[in-house]
Amino acid sequence: MPPPARYPLTQPATLQAASRMPPESSARQEVMVQGIPASQGIAYGQVFVYIQSDVEVPSYVVDPGKRSDEIARFEQALLLTRQQITKIKHEVERNIGPEEALIFDAHLMVLEDQALIGETLREFEDTGRNLETCFNKISLRYIQAFSEIDDEYLRERAGDIRDVAQRVLQNLLGQTERSFNRLADQRVVVANDFSPSDFAGLDRSAALAIVTDRGSKTSHAVIVARSMKVPAVVGLRDFTRRAQPGDWVLVDGYEGLVILHPSENTLFRYGKIREQREGIEARLLAANRLPAVTLDGAAITLMANIEKVDEVQLVKHYNAEGVGLFRTEYLYLNSARIPSEAEQVEAYRTVAAGLAPHPVIIRTLDLGGDKPMPGNPGLFPKESNPFMGFRAIRFCLEHTDIFKDQLRAILRASAHGKVRLMYPMISGAEELARANAVLEECRTELRAQGVAFDEALEVGTMIEIPSAAATADLLAQQCDFFSIGTNDLIQYLLAIDRVNDRIAHLYEPTHPAVLRTLKSVVDEAHRHDISVSVCGEMAGDPVLVPLLLGLGVDALSMTPPLIPAVRYLVRAMKLADAKKLAETALGLAAPKEIHALCLAFHNERVKLE
């Protein structure tokens, strides 16, 4: 048999080796399965199925006289789990890198979550059942809460809690840790899902690629795989049932394809693709060191969307001109308690100072709806339609104590860099005026205390509700900039739940209603002499970027790794041509026709292959 290779090559020797595969393997029908591309690269090798199963939790009543011993046993399991995770963090830091090791800080914080631990102990006091049962019940409640969050990145925290919970339960039951010890040779690892700790101690040369039934491109496990330069495809649903140990498989981490029993023609074709992809990546990275200036001299601002403080280095690595969207929910969702003003100041200051003189746009709290705080269920009553319910600025204006803590923290951080403040989910001018009034109270309080802050701090609003878009002229009179959240704006405009599989195909960024709304918002912003950026998924799509720029958008903010492809496109086009594209698109009626027009525009200018 041929030795597994990370990339299929086109040299004759490799093709000859592939042809020596056993007749029963080469005769099997090729099966192509579409998943979600998570980590770039192409790999070819044999399957190793990583079998995982949840810990079986026994349930029994603890003798009243032994309850103190039971609590001591739980505390010992928490201590052991903390030691194990700390060891894993150090191994990842040594073998992969310090930034990747920070992932395990989230795991350690789960163990320090006083609400999770406190609720477990209260459950034990109320029921008298063994702590495995109590801890499992409470942790599952937290996992469920985070699993229902619409934000993909924050939803992945459910995986962190699940990973830690399984480890605690294993320690309570005296079970050994799961590991890749059986992976003795290079293999394509196939599993239902992975946790970051599954990778601890793994020789990066042992796993040719990662393939999972579940997961997303923002999961912590995928982030580790990406850092290890291991190709990964996730979301294949039932691939663990299709693939058998020893099967030959080809993994395309660029397109999210997994090919079981690939033919010789497929292997040869992917050898060519691999060469093309390597060339494309080299050219994108080279262009990313250059200014984002169009062929006719228009400078385009490319910024980054971030979730956490430790992403500052990622922003710098991809040469972003600051942060166009700092989602602050992570500070709240990463703990069962509300962070103090001082803790928030430290987080915001670190980002602002780390990226100065570039701007950092901090969005105020967007909790509620699909992002409740598991440790504070009383703050968010059960709602039948939480996406349009008590969330974001609506929550903040009712809980002004929480809101003012954050506003003061942002103001104080503005003394250490170029900070801008932005409100989410604004529906109209009256709501914006109320938010600005609370901000002015915070300014007055800080002045009275002699606390330094930027008196010229710019304040903006998200345009993500149709009513805000329709009254952009009124909003523009009360703020310094707009940032269009296209994800929600499109969802609300078209009445499409984009995470509903049955209707997700109707979520169309090139719908004429979307284009006309974007054009109207941009025109009103410029008429009132304020800037407008886009921070939704459209901003990171090179095919749609010329359309946005043609409509008059001033800046684009996106996930950092998307910046090189967008920068390359910007440098390959003229702004004048983009304006003509937008003018033509505004006259069309069919979303698919508009998308085809944008695709043709992109392909005529970007010829990387």
Question: Could you give the residue numbers annotated as active site?
Answer: 220, 535
Q: For residues 528-561, b (16+ Cβ closer than 10 Å) or e, as one string? A: bebbbbbbbbbbbbbbbbbbbbbbbbbbbbbbbe
Q: For residues 126-140, b (16+ Cβ closer than 10 Å) or e, as one string? A: eeebbbbbbbbbbbe
- Cα(64)–Cα(69) distance, rounded to whole angstroms? 10
- Cα(488)–Cα(498) distance, rounded to whole angstroms? 9
Chain CA centroid to CA 286, Å: 25
What are the φ and ψ backbone dihedral angles of 427, each rounded to 5 degrees? -105, -15
User: In 3-state terms, what secondary structure has residue 257?
Assistant: strand
For 104, counting Cβ atoms within 10 Å of its Cβ (0-12 exposed, 13-18 middle, 19+ buried), the class is buried
- Cα(52)–Cα(89) distance, rounded to whole angstroms? 22
- Cα(186)–Cα(204) distance, rounded to whole angstroms? 9
Residue type, 280: I
Kindly state the tokens that stand for 15: 């093709």
Residue of 6, 2, 9 lying closest to 207 (CA atoms):
6
**Residue 65 has what DSSP assignment?**
G
- Cα(40)–Cα(562) distance, rounded to whole angstroms? 12
User: In 3-state terms, what secondary structure has residue 549?
Assistant: helix
**Residue 557 has what DSSP assignment?**
E
Residue of 512, 529, 536, 532 lying closest to 521 (CA atoms):
532
Containing H/E element for 352?
Answer: helix 341-355
Residue of 106, 235, 145, 251 lying closest to 188 (CA atoms):
251
